[in-house]
Amino acid sequence: GENVEQHPSTLSVQEGDSAVIKCTYSDSASNYFPWYKQELGKRPQLIIDIRSNVGEKKDQRIAVTLNKTAKHFSLHITETQPEDSAVYFCAAKWSAGKSTFGDGTTLTVKP
Amino acid sequence: DGGITQSPKYLFRKEGQNVTLSCEQNLNHDAMYWYRQDPGQGLRLIYYSQIVNDFQKGDIAEGYSVSREKKESFPLTVTSAQKNPTAFYLCATSKESNQPQHFGDGTRLSIL
């Protein structure tokens, strides 16, 4: 199976600063890497994703980078705002239907 | 997501009782999933189904059962064999198995 490690488990930044969350995976067959944002008591929502044939993808203040050789991918949030505060999960899809999630990063953006 | 309905929102289980969590979708998605989330942890896959009348075990299937008789519905039964059922249960769907997953609002299950 797949093993996904996510770091850090908690991250506190000042409003306007950047935040970076990293995930490593073990199965080289993994080919799809989504990131989800979950606010307290709510459902996870997809914020960005990347496939294994792409090295970087951006969507406004959010970007994801993928290094297939090193088997790691990262979420970058620039110009953070208080509403970015949430738990962020990475995931790696390694077989038909199966994805493994990281344990999550609690991001706090201080005004 | 609009289009994925989980019910009930809160559910209480007595000792020795089976309970069923409902997940209905009108997105016409082929794939459906059940995840369990414990406090401070990530999502763990219980069961998934890529097509009607077919489903596979995930990483923590023991004590759970599912059915997929209709494309729109993927109910999860938490049996009495699941000794620690207290958790937040999330249903998800995707158009195909290699497409993004969309989540319902979840069911919070507790033991009485």
Asked if the peptide bond before residue A34 counts as cis, ω within 30 degrees of 0, the response is no
Whether residue B42 and residue A103 make contact (CB cut-off 8 A), yes or no, is yes
Q: CA separation (Å) from B22 to B19, B56, B84, B92? A: 10, 18, 19, 12
Higher model confidence: residue A97 or residue A34?
Answer: A34
Name the residue of chain B whose CA is nearest to A94's CA.
B98
pLDDT at B57 over 60: yes
Look at residue B32 and tell me whether its pLDDT is greater than 80.
Answer: yes
With a pLDDT cut of 70, the percent of chain A lying above it is: 100
- A78 Cα to chain B: minimum distance (Å): 23
Distance from CA of B48 to the nearest CA of A (A): 7
Residue type at position A102: G
Contacts of A1 in chain B (CB under 8 A): 59
A43 and B44 within 8 Å at the Cβ level: the answer is no
CA distances from B104 to A43, A91, A99, B33, B54 (A): 6, 18, 17, 10, 21
Question: Which segments of A28-97 are extended strands (E)?
Answer: 32-38, 45-51, 56-59, 62-67, 72-77, 86-95
pLDDT for res B93: 95
Q: What is the pLDDT of residue A52?
A: 84
Task: Check residue B1 and give its pLDDT.
Answer: 55
pLDDT in tens, A13-61: 999 999 999 999 998 888 899 999 999 888 999 999 999 888 999 999 9
Please name the member of A43, A46, A104 whose beta carbon is closest to the beta carbon of B90: A43
| pLDDT score at A97 | 74
